[in-house]
Amino acid sequence: MTEVASSPAPSGPALAPRDERRGALLVFLSALMWSFGGAIARYIDIGDSWTVVFWRSVWAAAFLLCFMAWRDGGRGTLRLFRDMGLPGFAVALCFATASTSFVVALAYTTVANILLMQAGVPLMAALFAWIAFREKVSTTTWIAIATVILGVGIMVSESLGGTVSPVGDGLALLIAVVFATATVITRRFSHVRMTPATCLGTMFAAAFAFSQASTLSVSAHDMAFLFAFGVVNLGLGLAFFATGARMIPAAMAALLGTFEPLMGPIWVWLAHGEIPSGRTIIGGGVVFIALFVHLVLEFKRQTQPSRPGVTGLPSPN
């Protein structure tokens, strides 16, 4: 089998295969949480996108602060913020930009166009990692990434025939660029805990939205869904991603993230009765098969013995 994915970041400690599998699971769970965004947003009646950004970010920040306080304690949380340094600050800016742009872009362009732009994240992340840090990406990973992009392209191709807003698609492209950048930074500085960085990013987004929102008053109905939009969709997704992405190569983290555009239409169909088109079903199948085959081969490689007669499984001790 061809050597797969990226080499470990030289600034961080080597990770066991078991840790990489756990990281892959956490990044997949982050994509699952993020995939609920479209379905949740459909329930919110607020007309001002900045009001949505503000409350979504506030709830996400509150969740992440509580999560870190529970996991690390008060002093530990403060220490995490202090120790994240410039890499953490850069990731915070990336996530603030991405989360804000996602909500605002929905007012200018279709969800399908946004998802198509985000499908380029795996390729961008691998390319950025190769340019900046010379991380190696195998031929099999490149093939899987290209297949995923093809599948998502099939899914959203029916929505590309209408009038396109340059503002909306510009914001969608910005989401892909900054998310790919955050993926590479998180992996490169895998010894740095990035949960406080994502929390800081939600604070940045809330502060900026506060200065732009026409009103912060919302109904109880909208507040309930804004809570879910912030805590479940954004906060929990960020917590999973920040914990898991530092354990796996940047290309694989971004590749797993493509489960978001794969599953998003399914939740909208289940929650709002919107039946996916034939192209969506075909494209989603292509994406699922590409990801499944790639991950099976990767996990098989990780558990193969390095010498004949030696088990490839990690020691339980």
CA gap 113, 160 in Å, rounded: 7
What dihedral do alpha carbons 87, 89, 93, 96 form, nearest 10°? 120
Do 80 and 258 form a contact (C-beta atoms < 8 A)?
no
Question: What's residue 305's pLDDT?
Answer: 53
Question: What b-and-e string marks burial along 124-144, b requiring 16 or more CB atoms within 10 Å of the CB?
Answer: bbbbbbbeebebebbebbeeb
∠ CA 205-208-211, rounded to 5°: 145
Q: Report pTM.
A: 0.75
Other CB atoms closer than 10 Å to residue 52's CB: what's the count? 25
Residue 15 CB-density burial (10 A; 0-12 exposed, 13-18 middle, 19+ buried): middle
Closest-CA residue to 233 (of 63, 45, 21, 65):
63
Question: What's residue 221's pLDDT?
Answer: 93
User: What does the pLDDT profile of the chain (317 residues) look like in tens digits?
Assistant: 322 233 333 344 455 677 888 888 998 999 999 889 888 988 998 889 999 999 999 999 999 999 999 888 889 999 989 888 898 999 999 989 999 998 888 777 766 667 767 766 777 777 788 888 777 777 887 888 788 788 777 876 765 655 456 777 778 888 888 988 888 887 788 777 778 888 999 999 999 999 999 989 999 999 999 999 999 998 898 788 878 877 887 667 767 877 887 788 788 788 887 766 677 678 777 877 887 777 677 666 655 555 544 333 333 34
Question: What's residue 308's pLDDT?
Answer: 46
